[in-house]
């Protein structure tokens, strides 16, 4: 009797793992796939990592005025790459303009088809989460205080990492474009 229960349990476990793995394979925008549960776990992990980084974070007043830029060199698997410009005035972040562009120079936050497909799949799209991330940084002045957006975990984590790189550049007044070989 115990052997039958063990076999049933192992079979159920294997089938569940197979179904979950199969659900992750989709033609929808791959960089933004996540379930609410995995986003929550990733959000907690990201928050913990960001909290550690916040001890290294200088006050916004330590930033030198100017325009700071960061760009990824290569397109991702969906045909997008990050472009990010941050403006500092009076030692504070006054503008955060994080977005993605495709090879034609179109912005992901303005791509209605991408917005629709992603919103249907995960409940949010770039027209929603990109302005939210930018606004959070402008408000908090600290990337470690930016919340990961559920359904856009990868973009949120990328935003936080790149915002910190721009802040580090602003501390030193380095206005050269940071190029990321992604």
Is the pLDDT at 9 greater than 60? The verdict is no
Q: What 8-state DSSP symbol labels residue 73?
A: S
Any idea how long the chain is?
182
For range 165-177, the mean pLDDT: 97
pLDDT at 20 exceeding the cut of 50: no
CATH for the stretch 49-180: 3.90.1010.20
pLDDT tens-digit profile of 45-95? 444 444 444 433 444 458 999 999 999 999 999 999 999 999 999 999 999
Q: What is the pLDDT of residue 8?
A: 52
Q: Is the dihedral of CA 31, 32, 35, 40 positive or negative?
A: positive
Query: How far is 85 from 93, CA to CA, in rounded Å?
Result: 11
> How much of the chain, in percent, has pLDDT values that exceed 90?
66
Indicate the average pLDDT of the chain.
Answer: 79
Sheet holding 66-72, edge to edge: 92-101, 81-89, 66-72, 178-180
Helix ranges restricted to H, 55-99: none
Is residue 89 helix, strand or coil? strand
């Amino acid at each position: 009797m115990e052997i039958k229960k063990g076999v049933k349990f192992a079979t159920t476990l294997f089938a569940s793992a197979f179904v979950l793995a199969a659900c992750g394979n989709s033609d929808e925008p791959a960089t933004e796939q996540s379930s609410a549960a995995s986003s929550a776990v990733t959000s907690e992990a990201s928050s913990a990592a960001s909290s550690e980084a916040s001890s290294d974070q200088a006050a916004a007043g330590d930033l030198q005025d100017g325009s700071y830029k960061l760009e990824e060199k290569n397109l991702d698997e969906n045909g997008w790459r990050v472009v990010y410009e941050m403006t500092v005035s009076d030692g504070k972040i006054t503008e955060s303009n994080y977005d993605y562009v495709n090879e034609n120079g179109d912005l992901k936050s303005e791509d209605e088809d991408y917005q629709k497909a992603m919103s249907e799949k995960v409940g949010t799209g770039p027209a929603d989460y990109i302005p939210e991330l930018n606004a959070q940084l402008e408000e908090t002045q600290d990337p470690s205080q930016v919340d990961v957006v559920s359904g856009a975990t990868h973009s949120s984590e990328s935003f936080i990492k790149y915002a910190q790189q721009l802040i580090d550049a602003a501390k030193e007044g380095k206005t050269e474009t940071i190029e990321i070989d992604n």
